């Protein structure tokens, strides 16, 4: 092997290492976020945290949503400024708060329903991530379309929750939301993969690390929403 070939080989090894580390960190943080949420659900159920939140009605929910939104925005801002350590801590804090919030909601469902929803969520999430990692198609236009659709469904959902309170419309909303979040998982996976590859090609491990943390936040939110949607659908089916 010539000196030039050796340099190319070493350079490619570094590119591969940066990319692999970024992807491993991203999915590792998604898994850690899920574990943190699970632990917070258990603690929240034992201490009745969810009951305290919901005892204040809409005010309690709005305050909790405000805190979670603030922590989530703080995590994103910290990562974008290059402070991935703080961003990771805030992200995990958000997943813990999400667990406290869910600890009350999950009391509406049986253990069997929760277990089935979790297994289905894991299978769907992994499948969509594999598609996102392997597809050769250009998905750059998919994200904005999905976000427009998501905003529209959220508006309809709020109208239904505050005014109509229709069970059938609630079911339809969840049926529409499921493919949206599945597609978002594919799109975000591909986006993060391409951003990590670009950073790796430039030898920029710092940016690749930022991509990993930002990607973990988005993918965790997708997995969480898929889980909640499946819970709603399974719960609706069991009620019938």
197-211 per-position pLDDT tens digit:
999 999 899 999 999
13 has pLDDT over 80:
yes
Sort 107 into a burial class: Cβ within 10 Å, 0-12 / 13-18 / 19+.
Answer: exposed
Mean of pLDDT over the chain: 91
Q: Which pLDDT band holds residue 171 (cuts at 50, 70, 90)?
A: very high
The CA distances from residue 215 to 30, 58, 115, 211, 222, in Å, are 9, 31, 26, 6, 11
pLDDT the model gives residue 3: 47
Return d(Cα 69, Cα 50) in angstroms, integer: 17
Positive or negative, the CA dihedral 125, 131, 134, 137 is negative
Return d(Cα 32, Cα 25) in angstroms, integer: 10
In the chain, the percentage of residues whose pLDDT exceeds 90 is 75
190, 234 contact by CB (below 8 A): no
pLDDT digits (tens, 9 = 90+) for 15-32: 899 999 999 999 999 999
Mean pLDDT of 155-167: 87
Nearest to 33 by CA among 80, 120, 98: 98
Ordered by start, the domain boundaries in the chain are 3-239
Nearest to 197 by CA among 12, 16, 13: 16
């Amino acid at each position: 092997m010539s000196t030039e070939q050796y340099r190319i080989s070493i350079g490619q090894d570094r590119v591969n290492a940066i990319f692999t580390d970024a992807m491993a960190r991203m999915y590792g943080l998604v898994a850690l976020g899920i574990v943190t949420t699970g632990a917070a659900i258990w603690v929240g159920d034992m201490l009745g945290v969810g009951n305290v939140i919901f005892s204040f009605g809409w005010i309690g929910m709005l305050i909790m949503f405000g805190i979670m939104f603030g922590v989530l925005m703080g995590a994103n801002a910290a990562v974008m400024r290059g402070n991935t350590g703080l961003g990771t801590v805030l992200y995990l804090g958000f997943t813990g708060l999400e667990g406290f919030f869910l600890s009350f909601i999950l009391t509406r469902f049986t253990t069997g329903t929760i277990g089935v929803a979790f297994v289905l969520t894991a299978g769907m999430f992994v499948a969509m991530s594999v598609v996102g990692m392997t597809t050769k198609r250009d998905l750059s236009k998919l994200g904005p379309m999905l976000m427009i659709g998501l905003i529209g469904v959220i508006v309809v959902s709020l109208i239904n929750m505050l005014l109509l309170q229709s069970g059938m419309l609630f079911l339809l909303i969840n049926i529409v939301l499921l493919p949206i979040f599945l597609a978002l998982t594919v799109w975000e996976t591909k986006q993060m993969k391409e951003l990590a590859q670009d950073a790796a090609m430039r030898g920029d491990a710092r940016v690749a690390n930022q991509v990993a943390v930002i990607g973990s936040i988005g993918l965790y939110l997708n997995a969480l929403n898929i889980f909640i949607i499946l819970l709603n659908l399974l719960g609706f089916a069991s009620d019938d």
